[in-house]
């Protein structure tokens, strides 16, 4: 009898479908960290093996030599310029990124909302935006350098050209997604076209804009690093491509990790801001 | 001259005739409830009255003037869903109507004008029983509370015509009864002219002062889309007397006889 009950219980457990097993909060953290730990361990082992064979190997530097490189780049003034290179690079890259993404977001909000809200404008602008979004931005980078010189303008423009069409198209469709009933309702409350845009559509699009910006940040980094690699005197992308000549993996790897970390923090902060500012959007 | 005159109204989408030959006169202060099978064109009819859909033929006169073909503040509406703005709190949802009329550029009121408007809004929210929830977002409200908010919003402009499309469809019976009482009171108080679509015949009889049944009187078995719905029954309801309501039902029977006497197309 008891055996039967146990068998039934085991079967009941076994019967539960895989998709219905949800880990507890702790288990989730551990499960999430596990792949990172495995990767790190694999790296350390591989690095040790290579360095044992050839102590001057550059491809997989030891953790120690990477820490030394970080110390050199971030905590000691550079011998040539007296600057703390990592921080100079970070500041100039982040300001380019912020400027580029900020300009794109502003343009996208205005054009996207107008396109979505005013059918006459949409008929007018939508095909143009669509055509522009098909131009590969990297292909016009040389044009930007020719027209704008090698200064900041060209680098920021590349980001703007690279992500604005996506943002516009995304916001336009988000605007169109707002139920027609709401627009009708606003008109029965006496709203003019302008009032409808500023009080009903725009406020509802701000959290959606933040969402689209988060999605476009990956491309923004791509365009930033590409532009810096080609023409710059400082910046995270510039530094990586500079030290590549000396196969300085001990600098490149920490820089890549640092960029990844920055991208993560920016994404996380945008999410937090959006949740704090627009609580109604998240229920 | 009646307040609303519907003259030979047709609605057609491509080959499909949704409704045809609608003729009716509605006086100020009437409460017309509309019932009919799903897909027979009730929502389409409200859309025509609202001005969001152009009829294929015929016209509607309001106080002798042709209907404006875009939504405006003369006609309030409560849809089954999406009648509230998700990004505004309950108070802001109602206040915004006053802000639209008082501030063409920013759509916002400040200072004394805002305080005055807020006092008015608070009174209205009290009337619909939402005073406690004033600072909540719609997503924090139950379905019934959202619908009450939608009604409060529709009422602040004191529209001459109120259009309701299955406004209580999603509510449980208790809240539904509350809403019926609220709507009846507001209808009497403001002498609104209301058109309400419902699937609930009991509700239609309870609330309306006049009941319309939309149905096809001509059918063609081979092309079911060829003929549209009419107002097949137009039943006056005296809301104060059950005896008279029974009388109304007798009228209904009489009307049915009348319609059935109409020669119909093939396949009836
Ligand atoms: N914009 C449109 N284009 C084409 N057909 C439409 C359009 N709007 C409505 N219809 C058609 O008109 C018919 C009537 O639709 P309507 O929404 O008015 O029905 P209803 O009586 O409100 O039904 P329900 O009770 O299910 O809400 C339907 O067959 C629908 O397919
Ligand atoms: Mg309908």
B101 near A CB under 8 A: yes
Q: How much distance in Å is there from the Cα of B39 to the middle of ligand 2? A: 7
Tell me the pLDDT of chain B averaged across its residues: 85
* Residues on chain A touching B82 (C-beta within 8 angstroms): 179, 181-182, 185
Query: Mean pLDDT across the stretch A258-264?
Result: 95
Residue B257, pLDDT score: 47
Does B259 have pLDDT greater than 80? no
Interval B220-245 mean pLDDT: 74
Which range among A53-67, A132-146, B146-160, B248-262 shows the weakest confidence by mean pLDDT? B248-262
Query: Would strands B4-13 and B57-62 be described as parallel, antiparallel, or unpaired?
Result: antiparallel
Ligand 2 centroid – CA B165 distance (Å): 7
Average pLDDT over residues A194-215: 95
Q: What pLDDT sits at residue B173? A: 83
Shortest Cα distance, chain B CAs vs residue A209, angstroms: 15
* Subunit contact A188:B159, Cβ cutoff 8 A: yes
Q: What is the pLDDT of residues B21-76, one digit of tens each?
A: 899 999 999 999 999 998 889 999 999 999 999 999 999 999 999 998 899 999 99
Q: Is A184 within 8 Å of B50 when comparing Cβ atoms?
A: yes
- Residue B45 Cα, ligand 1 centroid: separation in angstroms? 9
Give residue B258's pLDDT.
45
Tell me whether residues A198 and B106 touch, CB distance under 8 A: yes
Asked whether the beta carbons of residue A184 and residue B157 sit closer than 8 angstroms, the reply is no
pLDDT score, position A58:
87
Q: Tell me: the pLDDT tens digits for A15-47? A: 788 898 888 999 999 999 999 999 999 999 999
Distance from CA of A199 to the nearest CA of B (A): 7
* pLDDT of A8 above 90: no
Q: What pLDDT does residue B239 have?
A: 66
Taking only the tens place, the pLDDT of each residue in A126-172 is 899 889 889 898 898 888 889 988 888 899 999 999 999 999 999 99
Highest mean pLDDT among A232-246, A262-276, B50-64: A262-276
Which residue, chain included where needed, has tokens 């005197």? A233
Cβ-based contacts of A187 with chain B (< 8 Å): 70-72
Question: What number of CA atoms fall less than 13 Å from residue A83's CA on the CB side?
Answer: 12
What is the total residue count of chain B? 268
Question: What are the Cα distances from residue A109, in Å, to A149, A240, B11?
Answer: 28, 34, 38
pLDDT of residue A209: 96
pLDDT at B221: 78
- Residue among B3, B2, B5, B7 at smallest CA distance from B55: B7
pTM of the model: 0.83
Ligand 1 centroid distance, CA of B142 (Å): 28
The DSSP secondary structure of B147-214, one letter per residue, reads HHHHHHHHHHT--SEEEEESTTTTS-HHHHHHHHHHHHHHHHHHT-EEEEE-S-HHHHHHH-SEEEEE
Structure-block tokens of residue B27: 């006086």
- Across the interface, of A185, A187, A199, the residue whose CB is closest to B107 is A199
Q: SS3 for B46? A: helix
Query: Is the predicted ipTM greater than 0.95, yes or no?
Result: no
Local structure of residue A121 (DSSP, 8 states): H
What is the distance between the terminal CA atoms of chain A, rounded to a whole angstrom?
49
Q: Does B82 touch chain A (CB under 8 A)?
A: yes
Hey, are the CB atoms on B104 and A195 less than 8 Å from each other? yes
- Ligand 1 test: best mutation among B11, B20, B39, most atoms within 8 Å of CB? B39
What local confidence, expressed as pLDDT, does residue A267 receive?
Answer: 96
Size of interface A-B (CB pairs under 8 A): 81
**Atom 1 (ligand 1) nearest CA:** B13
pLDDT at residue number A110:
94
Shortest distance between the Cα of B98 and any Cα of chain A, in A, equals: 8
Which token pair is B99? 């802000």
The answer to whether the CB of B76 falls within 8 A of the CB of B98 is no
As a whole number of Å, the end-to-end CA separation of chain B is 37
Domain boundaries in chain A?
73-282
CA of B132 relative to ligand 2 center, distance in Å: 32
* Residue B149 near residue B179, CB atoms below 8 Å: no
- Domains located in chain B, CATH noted: 26-85+160-267 (3.40.50.300)
pLDDT on residue B260: 46
Please name which ligand lies nearest the alpha carbon of B34: 1
Q: Is B136 on the interface with A (CB under 8 A)?
A: no
Q: Does B153 touch chain A (CB under 8 A)?
A: yes
- The predicted pLDDT at position A4 comes to 63
Q: Which ligand has the nearest atom to the CA of B165?
A: 2
Q: A185 CA to chain B: closest CA distance, Å?
A: 6
- Search chain B and give the residue with CA nearest A204: B87
Return the residue of A nearest to B95 by Cα.
A189
Q: What's CA A274's distance to the chain center, in Å? A: 15
Kindly give the pairing relationship between strand B57-62 and strand B65-66: antiparallel
Ligand 1 pocket (Cβ < 6 Å) reads B 13, 18, 36, 38-44
Question: Among B48, B86, B109, B135, which would you mutate to test the A interface (most chain A Cβ atoms within 10 Å of its Cβ)?
Answer: B86
From ligand 1's centre to the CA of B161, what distance in Å? Answer: 22
% chain B with pLDDT above 90: 47
Residue bearing the CA closest to ligand 1, atom 3: B13
Q: Are the beta carbons of A280 and B137 closer than 8 angstroms? A: yes
* Architecture in CATH of A73-282: Orthogonal Bundle (1.10)
Confidence class of residue B264 from pLDDT cuts 50, 70 and 90? very low
Out of B73, B86, B87, the one facing A190 most closely (by C-beta) is B73
């Amino acid at each position: 009898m008891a055996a039967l009950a146990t068998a039934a219980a085991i079967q009941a457990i076994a019967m539960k479908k895989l998709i219905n097993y949800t880990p507890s909060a702790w288990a989730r953290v551990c499960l999430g960290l596990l792949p990172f730990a495995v990767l790190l361990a694999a790296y350390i082992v591989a690095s040790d093996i290579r360095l044992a064979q050839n102590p001057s190997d550059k491809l997989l530097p030891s953790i120690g030599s990477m820490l030394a490189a970080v110390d050199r780049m971030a905590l000691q003034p550079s011998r040539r310029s007296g600057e703390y290179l990592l921080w100079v690079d970070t500041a100039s890259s982040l300001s380019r990124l912020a400027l580029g993404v900020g300009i794109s977001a502003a343009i996208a909000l205005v054009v996207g909302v107008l396109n979505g809200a005013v059918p006459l404008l949409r008929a007018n602008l939508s095909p143009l935006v669509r055509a522009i979004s098909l131009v590969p931005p990297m292909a016009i980078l040389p044009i930007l350098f020719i027209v704008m010189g090698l200064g900041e303008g060209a680098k920021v423009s590349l980001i703007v050209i690279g992500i604005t069409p996506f943002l516009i198209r995304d916001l336009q469709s988000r605007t169109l997604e707002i139920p027609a009933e709401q627009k009708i309702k606003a008109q029965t409350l006496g709203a003019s076209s302008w009032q409808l845009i500023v009080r009903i559509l725009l406020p509802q699009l701000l959290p959606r804009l933040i969402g689209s910006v988060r999605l476009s940040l990956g491309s923004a980094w791509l365009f930033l690093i590409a532009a810096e690699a080609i023409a710059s005197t400082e910046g995270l992308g510039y530094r990586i491509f500079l030290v590549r000549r000396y196969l300085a993996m001990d600098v490149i790897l920490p820089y890549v990790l640092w960029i990844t970390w920055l991208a993560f923090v920016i994404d996380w902060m945008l999410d937090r801001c959006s949740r704090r500012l627009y609580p109604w959007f998240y229920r | 001259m009646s307040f609303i005159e519907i003259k030979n109204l047709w609605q057609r989408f491509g080959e499909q005739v949704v409704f045809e030959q609608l003729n009716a006169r509605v006086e100020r202060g009437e409460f017309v409830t509309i019932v009919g099978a799903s897909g027979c064109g009730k929502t389409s009819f409200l859309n025509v009255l609202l001005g969001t859909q152009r009829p294929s033929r015929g016209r509607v006169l309001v106080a002798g003037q042709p209907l404006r073909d875009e939504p405006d503040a003369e006609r309030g509406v409560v849809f089954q869903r999406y009648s509230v703005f998700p990004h505004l709190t309950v108070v802001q949802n109602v206040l915004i109507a006053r802000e639209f009329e008082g501030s063409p550029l920013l759509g916002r009121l400040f200072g004394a004008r805002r305080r005055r408007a807020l006092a008015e809004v608070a009174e209205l929210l009290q009337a619909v029983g939402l005073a406690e929830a004033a600072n909540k977002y719609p997503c924090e409200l139950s379905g019934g509370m959202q619908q009450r908010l939608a009604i409060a919003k529709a009422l602040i402009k004191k529209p001459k015509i109120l259009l309701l499309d299955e406004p209580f469809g999603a509510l449980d019976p208790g809240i539904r009864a509350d809403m019926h009482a609220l709507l009846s009171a507001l209808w009497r108080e403001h002498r609104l002219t209301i058109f309400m679509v419902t699937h609930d015949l009991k509700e239609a009889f309870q609330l309306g002062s006049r009941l319309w049944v939309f149905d096809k009187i001509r059918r063609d078995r081979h092309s079911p889309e060829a003929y549209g719905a009419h107002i097949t029954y137009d039943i006056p309801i005296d809301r104060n007397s059950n005896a008279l309501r029974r009388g109304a039902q007798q009228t209904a029977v009489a009307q049915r006889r009348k319609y059935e006497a109409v020669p119909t197309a093939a396949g009836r």
